[in-house]
Amino acid sequence: MSEDRRLEVLRAIVEDYVQTREPVGSRVLVERHALGVSPATIRNDMAALEEGGFIAQPHTSAGRVPTDKGYRLFVDRLSTVKALSSPEKRAIQVFLEDAVDLDDVVDRSVRLLAQLTQQVAVVQYPSLRRSALRHLELVPVGDTRLLVVIITDTGRVEQRTLELTSAVPEQVVHELRARLNVAVAGRRLADARAPLEEIVHAFGVVEQPLVTSVITVVEDALAEESEERIVMAGTANLARSGTDFTQTIRPVLEALEEQVVLLRLLTEMAEDSAGVTVRIGRETQHAGLAETSIVAAGYGADGETVARIGSLGPTRMDYAGTIASVRAVARYLSRILAS
C-alpha cells in the first residue's frame, strides 16, 4: 500500500465520519470518493490502517472510525485549511471593531468563535505579567485615598485603592505620576521592577513612604496570579454532540468548570507553538477531556503573544474549519489590541 493512497483513504474516512457520525465502510468510500482503486484494494488499505492503529472498528460488522492517532496524522498532513468567505471575514471585523473596551472585546470574541465553530470557545484573558505597561494614572480620592490605575498595551485596566495615613500632597502625586510613566511605559513587569525601585530615591525622605506604597501596589497588582483566567461560551453546543461521547458529557463539563485545567492546557500549547496548535483526545492529558480536541492560537499586540484563544469539541470535529475560524478570530483580535 502506498503512503499517499493510505493518507487519501484515511482523509476520506475522517471527512465522512465527521459529516455523518457513522462508521465508514469500504463501499461508501468507493461511492463517495474517486480513489481510483478497486473496493478490494480499499479494504486492504483499511486493514493496514487498522493494524497501524489509525482507524478502529467500533463493533462487529461495522465500518471504521478514526482513532486519536488517525486524527493526529490527518491534522499533521492537513494541506489545506478552509478559507473563510469574504462576508464571514467582514462580519468578524465589524463585530469585533464595535467593542468598547477589552472586556467587551474578549466577550465578543468568545461568543463569535462559539457561533462559528458550534463548539465551546475559550479565550484566555490577557495576562498582566505578559503585557507591557502603557500608562499609570494616580487619582486622589478624598484627602487620604489614592486611586492607582494601571493600563496595559492590550487595553486591560486594573485599579487599586491606596489608603494613606495623611493627606495626599498634590504636587508629589503629579511628579510621581510623571516619573512613573517615563520609567515604565512600554515595559513588561520583569523589566519594570528596577526602574520602579530607582524612582524612590528621586524623592525626599518625607515623600518616600508614599512613593514606596504606590510602587508596591503597582508591583503587587502586576504579579497577582488571580488575573490568570479564561472566558468561555458555547458550552451548550456540547449537548448537540452527545452521541460523540461513549458515556456522557459530564466528565467534559466537569473539566471545563475547573478553569485551572484549561489554563494549564493553553499554557502548554503556547509552549508548543506561537501559531495554531491542536491537542487531540488523550493528548490533553486530562481524563475528562479524553474524548475532546482543542484547537488554539495565540493573540496579542505588536507581534507579541499575550494569551490564547481556542475551540474545544469532540474529537470528531471539522478540524480544517475549526483551525480556520480560530486563526481568523485570533488575527482580528490581535489587530484590535494593536490599534
Q: Is residue 54 part of a domain?
A: yes
For cell 502603557, name the residue. 134
Rounded mean pLDDT for each run of 10 residues along the chain, 339 residues in total: 82 91 87 83 90 88 88 86 80 84 86 93 79 82 86 77 83 89 78 81 86 85 65 87 69 85 87 83 90 91 82 93 93 83
Which residues partner with 309 through β-bridges? 123, 297
The CATH number of residue 138's host domain is 3.30.390.60
Asked whether residue 49 falls in the same domain as residue 183, the answer is: no
Same domain, 120 and 266: yes
DSSP 180-202: HHHHHTT-BHHHHHHHHHHHHTT
Domain assignment present for residue 42? The answer is yes
Would you state the pLDDT for residue 16?
92
Long-range contacts of 21-28 (CB under 8 A, 24+ apart): 21/243, 21/244, 21/316, 22/63, 23/57, 23/58, 23/62, 23/63, 23/64, 23/65, 24/63, 24/64, 24/65, 25/62, 25/63, 25/64, 26/63, 28/63
* 14 and 70 in a common domain: yes
The residues facing 313 across adjacent strands are 293
Cα–Cα dist 56/184, whole Å: 57
Q: What is the CATH number of the domain that holds 9?
A: 1.10.10.10
Mention every residue, 6+ apart, whose C-beta is less than 8 A from residue 322: 117, 119, 295, 311, 313
Q: Domain residues for 144?
A: 133-223
Residues 232 and 334 in one domain: yes
Q: Are 107 and 58 found together in one domain? A: no
Question: Are 167 and 248 in the same domain?
Answer: no
Please report whether residue 81 resides in a domain: no
Are residues 197 and 258 both part of a single domain? no
**214 and 148 inside one domain:** yes
Clarify whether residues 254 and 334 are in a common domain.
Answer: yes
| pLDDT at residue 190, rounded to an integer | 66
Q: Is residue 264 part of a domain?
A: yes
**172 within domain boundaries:** yes
Question: Final residue of a domain: which of 205, 223, 241?
Answer: 223
Q: 318 and 237, same structural domain?
A: yes
**Same domain membership, residue 23 and residue 64:** yes
How many independent structural domains does the chain possess? 3
Identify the pLDDT of residue 195: 83
Domain boundary among 208, 223, 238: 223
Which three cell numbers mark 168?
Answer: 495626599
Same domain as 239, residue 208: no
**Boundary-marking domain end, from 33, 52, 76:** 76
